[in-house]
Structure 1
């Protein structure tokens, strides 16, 4: 049995993805900063028949993120799918003329250093699984493709993450490892036919199974 590790797991999209992949036989490693919330989410998922376990880590601390991913493998099986989808902090989103060099440290650590650390940790195991098995999924906001003057930190950092994902897609695709990104414009809203978490989880499942796609973009607004 293989696992999906969801970095930034919460009660919205993270839970929906856990249920979608869990229904297909994946065990689920839930990663965020708060162990108590992770334990509560794992218990909720268990009621739906999903085997999940929480592992606390801070995406701005590469060593803690690597440890959590190692623990997922040890507890739940090899990581076949990695999803990187933590929500950025509000203080990352400053107007461009008010953004100092120090203001960009957090967004870059969050959206670039974190993904790089996560990929380096899971890649050997994905290679061990064999060709056409591993998948790396990035989820970020519309400023990854259309920068916003009032959200400078995420605009800069998401664009860097998107570039990293594109490069990974080109290189790892040669090994049969799928790298894709889901870009969501606006808020995730339950009941919205485009942005409902269950619908978005379906898009991520399609990106995992339809291995020739790099990007799926939900309507930007």
Structure 2
């Protein structure tokens, strides 16, 4: 049985992906910052007949990331597919590019860029040696789709996108697939959706965010994993 490890598991993207892969025979490693919450989310998947184990780690902390990868592989064997699904809380955003300073980039870069780099460095060598493996990443606003009300996140996601494109090019032909799912909608059931619904003033006047079901995102990631024919897939960006 193959193992999918979801780093930064949440009720939106993480749950939708776990359900889709789990129903297709994967065992799932649920990795979140809060141990009790990870256990609760694992129990919900287990109730659906999915083989799953919870793990606690803040993946923005390099030491915790390294430790949890070791724990997952000790319990479930080699990680065949990894999904970097962590997302920053809306509270860290800067609503204007002119408000972005070095300090405001600390959390976005640690969460989306540096942890993506650390995850890749930790898992890619063994995948290359095996001649098979998948590294999946989630993204959103970037230099490709400008959303200045998420200014500091957009800067970090632009850097993440550049890194992933480079890694994908370098690993082409090794048997390791690298993919980026860029999501331009609010994910149903996600923490971000609940926050925006409770605080609509977080969104600029006149901007209507489309919404996407987390099951649809799980299906997109499954197609990326099985077909391995494109590095970047975009979902839900308004034209």
Which TM-score applies when normalising by structure 2?
Answer: 0.86
Task: Return the alpha-carbon distance in structure 2 between the equivalents of residues 89 and 22 of structure 1.
Answer: 27
How has the CA–CA distance of structure 1 residues 39 and 109 changed in structure 2, closer, same or farther, with 3 Å as cutoff? same
Match of 2:179 in 1: 180
1:142 and 1:186 in contact (8 A); partners too:
no
Q: Secondary structure at the match of 2:60?
A: coil
Report the 3-state secondary structure (helix = DSSP H, G, I; strand = E; otherwise coil) of the residue aligned with 1:126.
helix
**Paired residues for 1:11-22 under 5 Å:** 11-22=11-22
CA contact (8 A) 2:27 2:51 kept: yes
Distance in 1, matches of 2:143 and 2:120, equals: 19
The alpha-carbon deviation at position 120 of structure 1 amounts to 1.2
Match of 2:135 in 1: 136
| Count of aligned pairs | 217
Whole-angstrom CA distance in 1 between matches of 2:158 and 2:22: 31
**Other-structure match for 2:217:** 200
Distance across 1 between alignment mates of 2:2 and 2:180: 21
Partner of 1:189: 188
Structure 1 stretch displaced more, 32-41 or 87-96: 87-96
Residue number in structure 2 paired with 1:127: 128
1:159 alignment partner in structure 2: 158
Aligned partners of 1:194, 1:109: CA distance in 2, in Å? Answer: 27
1:8 corresponding residue in structure 2: 8
Matches within 5 A, 1:39-188: 39-94=39-94, 95-130=96-131, 133-143=132-142, 145-188=144-187
Where in structure 1 are there 5+ consecutive unaligned residues? none
- Whole-angstrom distance in 2 between the partners of 1:155 and 1:12: 20
TM-score, normalised to structure 1, is 0.92
Deviations 1:14-53, CA, capped at 9 Å, x for gaps: 1121111112221111111011010011111111111111
